[in-house]
Amino acid sequence: MINPARGEIWLTDRNPVRGQEQGGQRPALVISADIYNSGPAGLVVVLPLTTTHRGIPLHIQIKPPEGGVKSASTILCDAVRSISKDRLVKKWGTVSASVLNEIEDRLRILMGL
């Protein structure tokens, strides 16, 4: 059984999708707590990554080798999604604590927390 940890970037299989969701195999950052990730739900909460930078303030840019990315990438903090752990294909790496802190700040703004 795959046991992802918070802060890890995984290649995920995102199909099927609806509307503006990203599809195909795409990297995503696990943001759910480890206790949830190892629990009976069989789900993880993730943020997708893209190589397209749109200048949206809630997005965070990272560069290699951060998190195992191979090219400059943008973490879409406004595209929170729960996915089955069965969608996790391959672990790429782990982001730094400072990147996780930036993500937490963006999520607090997004959710009004």
Element (H, E) at 58: none
CA distance 58 to 105: 9
pLDDT digits (tens, 9 = 90+) for 51-86: 998 989 999 999 999 999 999 999 999 999 999 999
The set of residues, in sequence order, having a beta carbon less than 8 Å from that of 31 and lying 6+ positions away, is 6, 7, 45, 46, 47, 80, 103, 107
Q: Which residues lie across from 46 on neighbouring strands?
A: 30, 81
List the structure tokens of 23: 């599809």
Q: Which of 20-29, 37-46, 70-79 has the lowest mean pLDDT?
A: 20-29
pLDDT band at 41 (very low <50, low <70, confident <90, very high): very high
Q: What is the largest CA-CA distance in the chain?
A: 38
Average pLDDT over residues 82-99: 96
Q: Which of 4-8, 20-24, 85-89 has the lowest mean pLDDT?
A: 20-24
pLDDT digits (tens, 9 = 90+) for 97-113: 999 999 999 999 998 98
Using CB atoms within 10 Å of the CB of residue 57, give its burial: 0 to 12 exposed, 13 to 18 middle, 19+ buried.
Answer: exposed
CATH class of 8-111: mainly beta
